[in-house]
Amino acid sequence: MIVAFVDEHRGEFGVEFICRHLQVAPSTYYAAKRRAAEPSARAKRDAALMPILLALWVANRKVYGAHKLWKAARRAGNEIGRDQVGRLMRELEIRGVSRMRNKVFTTRQDPDGWRAPDLVNRDFTADRPDALWVTDLERHEALSNPAVVKGHRLRPVAAGR
């Protein structure tokens, strides 16, 4: 926006005068003009490396993340940094497969399946001992880890009255 303004009025006032009043260094204006005319060395290198990374990612069944793709690129003879690989992967909108990202469901609920009736109408108070029994039907694989179990709320399910 500033570059366009300076370009529009540079014949009338001059670049240095306009930049001084806009409180912008003239070198900033000239650098922006240079970038518009010719891409930077980084942009040229990125443009050369993007197809290589994409080909390596596809060749490895689209499962490699930044770290493995970086190692594969280094093995292929490309001098590239790991963070650069991550940045280029974001630009290419590709990502590796993560085991932790997807939640695994061990059972699938049947939406039309039979549900046990709620015999106590969500009233879990008993007038005498052994009048009401409830249980938790969830599966807990992490019961040995108290840090996991500590914040867990049990959901009671009515068994009968």
Count of domains forming the chain: 3
Task: Give me the pLDDT at residue 137, please.
Answer: 63
In this structure, is residue 100 part of a structural domain?
no
113 plus 140 within the same structural domain: yes
110 plus 160 within the same structural domain: yes
Separation of alpha carbons 16 and 6, rounded Å: 9
pTM over 0.85: no
88 plus 47 within the same structural domain: yes
In this structure, is residue 98 part of a structural domain?
no
Q: Where are the alpha helices (DSSP H) in the chain?
A: 2-13, 15-22, 26-37, 41-59, 66-75, 82-92, 146-150
Positions in the chain short of pLDDT 50: none
Residue range(s) defining the domain that contains residue 76: 41-92
Separation of alpha carbons 80 and 83, rounded Å: 9
82 plus 114 within the same structural domain: no
Task: Give me the pLDDT at residue 153, please.
Answer: 53
Task: Give me the pLDDT at residue 66, please.
Answer: 95
Sign of the dihedral through C-alpha 43, 48, 51, 56: negative
